[in-house]
Amino acid sequence: MRAHSNRHFATLRRVNTHAPLTRTARDVYTVSRLNRTVRELVELTLGVIWVEGEISNLSRPASGHQYFSLKDARAQVRCAFFKQRARLSRVALEPGKQVLVRARASVYEPRGDYQLIVESVELAGDGLLQQRYQENLQRLNAEGLFDAGRKRALPPFPKQIGVVTSATGAAVRDVVDVLRRRYPLAPVTVYPTAVQGDRAVPGIVAAIGLANDHAEVDVLLIVRGGGSLEDLWAFNDEAVVRAVADSVIPTVSGVGHEVDTTLCDLAADTRAPTPSAAAELVSPPLDQLISRLASCSRRLNRSMQQRTARARDGLGRLHARLARQQPERQLETAQQRLDLARVRLDRAITAQLSRHETALRAQTRRLRAQSPARQLATQRTTLRRVSAQLAQAIRHRVQDAERLLGTQTRALDAVSPLATLERGYAVVRRAADGHVVLDAAHVNPGERLRITLREGELHADASDPVEG
C-alpha cells in the first residue's frame, strides 16, 4: 500500500516539475482519485498521533457521532468522534475545554476536507488535574479522611507553633510577621520544604513527619501562597493528604488564596483561607490575652479570699469542738484503762504458763513409763535367737541337697551315653540331619555318616548292609 502511494506521489512531482507532455502521455487524476491518494498518504505517513487543543464548533447529530474543531491560537482542525468510540470515553466534550485526543489523521474524500478521526479523549493541562482532583476527593472522602468527627480543636494558647512551608517564600514571612505581632509569647519553628515541583510531595510529607517525631510544637501550620491549580497540586497529592490526616499534632491548612480549596485543606483540623489567616487562627491577640489574664487574676484572688475565709471559719469550729470534748481528760481515762488491761494481761499469762508446765510434767512421766528402750532390748534378744535357728536350718538344707545331688549324679553317670563311649562304643548319626542310626536297614548304601567316639568324630560312607 505504501509503495502504491509513493508511486502516486512520484507521479504528482513529475507532473509539476517537467515540461508539458502530449495529451496521450499525461497521467490525469480525477478529483476522487486525488482525494483518495491524499488520504492514503496522510494516513500512512502520520498514523495514530496525539493532538492537544481547545474544543470549538461542537455538534451532536441524531446519529450519535460528535463533530468538533480542535484549535489553538493560530490554527484549527476538524475532528470526528464516532459513536462507538464516544460511548467509551470518560470525558464529556464541551466547548472551550482543553483536551488531548488520540486520533488518526485522514481526509474526508467527498469534500476533500482534512480531519482527525478521534479514538479517545483526555483532559489536558488544568482539566486533567481537575479530573484527578475529583477522583482523589471522592476516594479519600469515601475512606473518611475528611469527616468532621476527625477534626480536633486547636489549642487556645499554644506554647510553640510549627510551620511547614518554603523557607524563602512570602508565606513564611507573612506568618512570622502575624505571629510576632499578635502572639510573641510562643516561639515559631519552621520545617522548611519545597512547596512546588517534583520535590514538593516528599518534602512536605517528610516535614510533617519530622514535626510529629520531635513533638515540640502544639499546633502545625501547613501554608503556601497562591498559584494555579498546577502550582498548588502538591497539596492535592494523596501522600500529603494522608500525612496531614495522620498528624498527631493539630493542623491548620492555609494554602493559596481564599478561592482555592485543596484536599490538604479538607484533611486538616482547621482550614484558613490564606497563610496570614492561618497564623491569626492560632494566635490570640495580645490585648485579648492580657485582658483574659487580668480576668483570671481577679477570679483567682476572689477564689483565694473565699477559700481562706471558709478555712478560717472551719478552723474556728474545729477549735470549739476540741475545747468541748476535753481531749486531755479523755486521754487520762484511756491511760488508766490501759494500765488495768496490762495488769490483767500479766496475770492471765502467768496462769496460762503454770497450767502448761503442769501438763508437760505429766506427759514426761507417761513417756518414761512407756519408754521404747526396754522393748527394743527384748526384740534384739529375739532377733539373735531367730537368726541362729535360721543359720542351722540353712546348713541342714544344704547338706541334704549335697547328698541328693551325689546320688543323682551317680545315677546319671550310669545311664549317660558318655559312659557308654568310655567302654568302647560309638554313636552313629546321619550327616544330613544328625539323627541317630539304630538299624542298619535304615541306612542307604553310600549315605554319609558321622560317628562319635569317646575322643573326636569320624565321617564315613555306608556300604551294603551285612546279613546277620
Compute CA 193 distance to the chain's CA centroid, rounded to the nearest angstrom. Answer: 29
Helices and strands (H and E) in the chain: how many: 13, 13
Question: What pLDDT score was predicted for residue 128?
Answer: 67
Question: What pLDDT score was predicted for residue 210?
Answer: 96
Q: What gap in Å lies between CA 6 and CA 137, rounded to an integer?
A: 53
Q: Considering only CA atoms, which of 14, 70, 1 is closest in space to residue 42?
A: 1
Spell out the per-residue pLDDT of the chain, length 468, in tens: 333 444 444 444 444 444 444 555 688 999 999 989 998 998 888 889 999 898 999 999 999 999 999 998 889 999 999 999 998 888 889 888 888 899 999 999 999 899 999 999 888 765 667 778 888 899 999 999 999 999 999 998 899 999 999 999 899 999 999 999 999 889 999 999 999 988 999 999 999 999 999 999 999 999 998 887 778 889 999 999 999 999 999 999 999 887 778 999 999 999 999 999 999 999 987 777 778 888 888 899 999 999 988 998 888 888 888 777 777 777 878 888 888 888 899 999 999 999 999 999 888 888 777 777 777 888 888 898 999 999 999 999 999 898 898 888 888 877 777 777 777 788 888 888 888 888 888 888 888 989 888 788 888 888 876 555
Rg (CA), the chain: 62
Question: What pLDDT score was predicted for residue 320?
Answer: 81
All residues at 6 or more sequence positions from 249 whose CB lies less than 8 Å from its CB, including other chains:
162, 211, 212, 215, 217, 218, 219, 220
Number of Cβ within a 10 Å radius of residue 77: 17
* Amino acid present at 150: R
Question: What pLDDT score was predicted for residue 15?
Answer: 41
Residue 75 sits at φ, ψ, to 5 deg, of -155, 170
Question: What pLDDT score was predicted for residue 193?
Answer: 95
Question: What pLDDT score was predicted for residue 11?
Answer: 40
pTM, rounded to two decimals: 0.45
Question: What pLDDT score was predicted for residue 434?
Answer: 82
**By the 8 A CB rule, do 312 and 305 touch?**
no
Residue 448 sits at φ, ψ, to 5 deg, of -80, 130
Question: What pLDDT score was predicted for residue 316?
Answer: 85
All residues at 6 or more sequence positions from 66 whose CB lies less than 8 Å from its CB, including other chains:
58, 59, 60, 80, 81, 86, 93
**By the 8 A CB rule, do 279 and 175 touch?**
yes
CA 225 vs CA 141, 171, 183, 313: distances in Å: 25, 5, 22, 63
Q: What gap in Å lies between CA 398 and CA 379, rounded to an integer?
A: 29
Q: What gap in Å lies between CA 285 and CA 185, rounded to an integer?
A: 11
CA 312 vs CA 318, 321, 342: distances in Å: 10, 14, 42
Q: What gap in Å lies between CA 318 and CA 38, rounded to an integer?
A: 116
